Amino acid sequence: NYVIRPDGKRKKITDDLKEEIINEIVPGYIVERHLEKGDIVLFNRHPSLHKGSLMAHYVKVLPGKTFRLHPAVAAPYNADFDGDEMNIHSLQTEEAKAEAKVLLEVKKNLFSPKNNTNWVGCINDAITGGYLLGLGEFSKEEANQILYRAGIDYPFSKKTISGTEIFSKILPKINFSDSNIKIQEGEIIKGIIDKNLFGDEDGVLIKEIDKKFGRTVAFETIKKAFNLGKNYLTEKGITISLGDF
């Protein structure tokens, strides 16, 4: 962290000099600081081939020296976590921050402007975990733990709960049906939980929730679905052998 005086000279902020600098600062000084939780920044991956290559995110400061990105937002960057180089641009003016919030925030870019497919959705472990969860049956204690680990506090009371009943607890009171699934008032009546429902690109239910309940509810549902599938697969595990190919 530095203070830049009006004459252009820089002074490093240290514990020893902190009080002196506080007393010295007057209008015209520039105070440089580290990024803090909640700061809005631009995230970019080269080559910037389309609008989704540059979006605005909010900082969460973590230990370590790598950028971390929620996997649900990886698709528009074409990021596959194999050593991709990403760049962060820290916004310097209030005008730039306002422009980022209005135009570039991830919530404003849920769908591709090219073909209206989902840019944000469940991928990989979250899809596999959601699918396997939907096929299972669980005791009351197991079901409550599965929801709790996904950040959802809903105590089941009956003895046996299906995986689709567990998954239904993350859904808003939506009515939806197609050839693969039927949902009434947010309860999955029949069908399977797969990429066609919550995945990036396909995710028809994401579009329907966004249309009927708004962008905030759509993003919260994606977040819960991702956590539910990922956490379940982490606990259950999955093995693939040569015989599966």
Question: pLDDT tens for residues 86-114?
Answer: 999 999 899 999 999 999 999 999 999 88
pLDDT at 243: 87
HSE-up (13 A, CA, CB side) for residue 201? 7
DSSP secondary-structure letter at 179? S
Instruction: Please state, as a whole number, how many other Cβ atoms lie within 10 Å of the Cβ of residue 199.
Output: 23
Residue 206 — very low, low, confident or very high, per pLDDT cuts 50/70/90?
very high
Closest CA to 51 of 100, 121, 112: 112
First-to-last alpha carbon distance for the chain, in angstroms, is 55
Mean pLDDT of 152-172: 90
Q: Is the pLDDT of residue 81 over 90?
A: no
Which residues of 77-225 form beta strands (DSSP E)? 87-90, 137-139, 160-162, 176-177, 181-184, 187-191
pLDDT exceeds 90 at position 214 = yes
Residue 172, pLDDT > 90, answer yes
**212 pLDDT more than 90:** yes
- Mind listing the domains of the chain with CATH numbers? 2-32 (no CATH), 40-109 (2.40.40.20), 124-236 (1.10.274.100)
Amino acid at 91: L
pLDDT class of 33 with cuts at 50, 70, 90: confident
